[in-house]
Each structure stands twice: as structure tokens, then as C-alpha cells.
Amino acid sequence: MERLGTLEVKNLNKKYRSQNDDLLVLDDINLTVQPGEFISIIGSSGCGKTTFLRLVVGLEKGYEGEILLDGQRLNGPSLKRGVVFQDHRLLPWLSIEKNVGMGLKNPKSGESRKTIQEHLELVGLKGFEKHYPHQLSGGMSQRAAIARALVNRPEILLLDEPLGALDALTRMYMHQELERIWMKEDITMIMITHDVDEAIVLSDKIVVMSSRPGTIKKIIPVPLARPRDRAGYDFANIKEEVLAEFQLHTDHPFTYSI
């Protein structure tokens, strides 16, 4: 049986219309993401990365071109595509298990309760089912958000700078956790990030976007064995290749992990 989760973006253009002029945000985007791939998208602020993600999720409409999942044109949000934002967006009045299960049709059924428990264990939150969001650390809250996005078993998980608000040490730990979850679930992941090291640590391919209007400047493969050695020669070469696509200056928006 053919594996599901192939994303094809063909000749994608996105404009925001106003009374005076049309603002072209994305210009002729062409990208294919194979099932099970981990793709990172990087680019300067305002280049259209989040707009692209919102289009794939189905939260944005009114575009030119095609966005196809397994050959079917996307028409609005779907349980086939999960999303994790920079902020965890957990509902503060619900326990962690209820937050994770809120997308299920019948979260109180025996099968749903089992699924919720499985995903809490997957993200390392077993024992925190009855806790509330304010009782968790930032990293734990993001893991709960990832569990919530995965509980419906989507074909693609989209991540919009999911680790951007975390401190450096927690972020490095979450790199390991995110990679472990990706490998365990065998799911397609597309992540937006400003952190070049993060992209290299996690990705099979890095999509480098130009400034507005956003276009794909280059797609850089990351053929490194996992787990990745941040201090390795090959890691440094890929980082140099990514950074070479940008004119660096003192207020450059990218993050360089130590």
C-alpha cells in the first residue's frame, strides 16, 4: 500500500489585497515533501514562512497554484494536518489529559482514553495527566501541545517555531525529544525556525527562503547520521552553506546555537 503524507506545492502565489495595492507575499513556490521527511524552512522575518504554513494547515485561503496532499487539493483545515505554534495554546481551565483529548470526537470512550495515555507517554508526560498548564514548565507545555497535535494521528505535523520561547538548555533537550517523537511516530514534519543549528540537527532538508516576496532560494540536503554532532566538520560545512545564502549583518535575525 502506498504510504500517505506526500505534500506537493506547485506554482504557489499568495497576495494580500488592500485598497491601494496588492502585496505579494509568496512567489512561485514549488516544493515536494516525501512521507516521513523532516523539513525545516528558514528565512528572514516577513518572508512568508508562517503564511506558507498557514496555507498548508488550511487556515489561509485565496491563493494561486496548487497545494496537494496525496494528490488531493487542500480545502480548509483537516485532522490529517496537525499544527504546533510557538506558544503552546493549552486551555488553562482543562487538565493536560483533557487538553490533549479535546480534538477527539469522543474523548471519554475507552479507545480515546487509551490513545490519550499513549500520546502522553510518547512525549514523556505520564503521571501529569491531572495537572494543569500553569503547573508545567515551558518545555513540558510544548510537549503537551505536540501530544495534542498528534493524538488524531495526522499525516503531517506542522511546527511554527515551536521551541522559540524556550531557554537554550531546554531547547537542546527538546531537539532530542522532537527527533525521538518524529522517529517513533514515523510522521512527516515541516518546521519553521530561525535557528540554523536547530534546522541542521533535526532536518533531512533545509528550505532557504528569500525576503519578500518569499521564494525558495535553495534546498539544502542534510545527509548526516543521527544523532547529529554539532561540533563535527560536516555539520559546520552545512551550516556555512546555509549561512552563505544570506548577507549577514549585525541585526541578522537568525539564531546560532552554541
DSSP letters of the chain? Answer: -PPS--EEEEEEEEEEE-SS-EEEEEEEEEEEE-TT-EEEEE--TTSSHHHHHHHHHTS---EEEEEEETTEE--S--TTEEEE-SS----TTS-HHHHHHTTSS-TTSHHHHHHHHHHHHHTT-TT-TT--GGGS-HHHHHHHHHHHHHTT--SEEEEESTTTTS-HHHHHHHHHHHHHHHHHHT-EEEEE-SBHHHHHHH-SEEEEEPSSSB-EEEEEE----SS--TTSHHHHHHHHHHHTTS---TT---B---
- Per-residue pLDDT, 249: 35
What pLDDT is attached to residue 109?
A: 83
pLDDT for 111: 85
Q: Which CATH architecture has domain 1-77+189-258?
A: 3-Layer(aba) Sandwich (3.40)
**What's the pLDDT at 255?**
53
Is the pTM higher than 0.85?
yes
pLDDT at 20: 73
pLDDT of amino acid 211: 83
pLDDT computed for residue 164 by the predictor:
85
Residues of the chain under the 70 pLDDT cut: 1-3, 19, 247-258
The reported pLDDT for the residue numbered 233 is 95
pLDDT for position 251:
44
Name the residue ranges covered by the structural domains of the chain. 1-77+189-258
